[in-house]
Amino acid sequence: MLVQNLRLVFIGPPGIGKGTYASAISRIYGIPHISTGDIFREEIEKQTELGKKVESYVKKGELVPDEIVIEVVKNRLQKEDCKEGFILDGFPRTIKQADALEKFAKIDLVLNFYAPDEVIIERVSGRVVCPNCGAIYHLKFMPPKEPWKCDKCGSKLVRRPDDEPEVVKKRLEIYRKQFAPIIEFYRKRGLLVDVEASELADKVVPKIVKVLEEHGFPPPRSAESCG
Ligand code: AMP
């Protein structure tokens, strides 16, 4: 059984785990997880007409023009799998997009994930990878047996440039600036629910389910578990 019309927007800073939460909620409630960033990356990969149009913006980390994003989301939400609901992730990012969305879809709730900067920085900057075999570790949550050494091939582990603490800090600042008006937009409409997400996903996902339940959206009975 699918839940009736659960139309969500997820907002949260980079590194908070929003994608993980969205995938889990998508599975539990049987509604699609729609990430505009993922859509653009796929289109670029396939070099479609849309992909070619948005490539330069995405590669530079600049916003894709509103008209293009709005059209993409509008078309996506008309697909059959969105009939019972959806999770929007990465959209809206501008007031123009939020205004447009309001005209073509009803939104039931907007979940605003937050955590102290230190927690996010620790989470993101703890991520290290093996440049040789691609194995991924977390210095705190999934450490290699020997510090900075790959368990599988013994190579020295590295941190991706994007995960350096200074870079993460900068991305958090950009996020705050970009999303403050959107958060305000939905808070004013009484749709915003703040969700503290300092803990790991196995704790945050059940918390999200509880929040949804409290707002009249219990998980469908067929959902196996909310873990
Ligand atoms: P994300 O994975 O959400 O960080 O998105 C990756 C990139 O896709 C962004 O840096 C933008 O270039 C583009 N993008 C994704 N969503 C939007 C949006 N709602 N408005 C404008 N550009 C977007």
For the stretch 62-100, pLDDT in tens is 999 999 999 999 999 999 999 999 999 999 999 999 999
H-run or E-run covering 93 = none
Residue 42 Cβ contacting ligand 1 at under 6 Å: no
Cβ of 74: how many Cβ atoms within 10 Å?
A: 14
What are the structural domains, with CATH classification, of the chain?
6-115+174-226 (3.40.50.300)
Indicate if the pLDDT at residue 168 is higher than 50. Answer: yes
Give the Cα separation of 66 and 174 in Å (integer). 18
Question: In angstroms, rounded to a whole number, what is the distance separating the alpha carbons of residues 16 and 11?
Answer: 10
The pLDDT value given to residue 222? 66
pLDDT band at 57 (very low <50, low <70, confident <90, very high): very high
pLDDT digits (tens, 9 = 90+) for 196-218: 999 988 999 999 999 999 999 99
- Structure pTM? 0.90
pLDDT at 122 over 80: yes
Is 68's C-beta closer than 6 angstroms to any atom of ligand 1? no
Residue 3 is given by DSSP the state P
Q: What is the mean pLDDT of residues 188-193?
A: 98
- Pick the catalytic residue: 76, 160, 187, 210? 160
Is 18 one of the annotated active-site residues of the chain? Answer: yes
159 part of the active site: no
Distance 192 CA to ligand 1 centre (A): 21
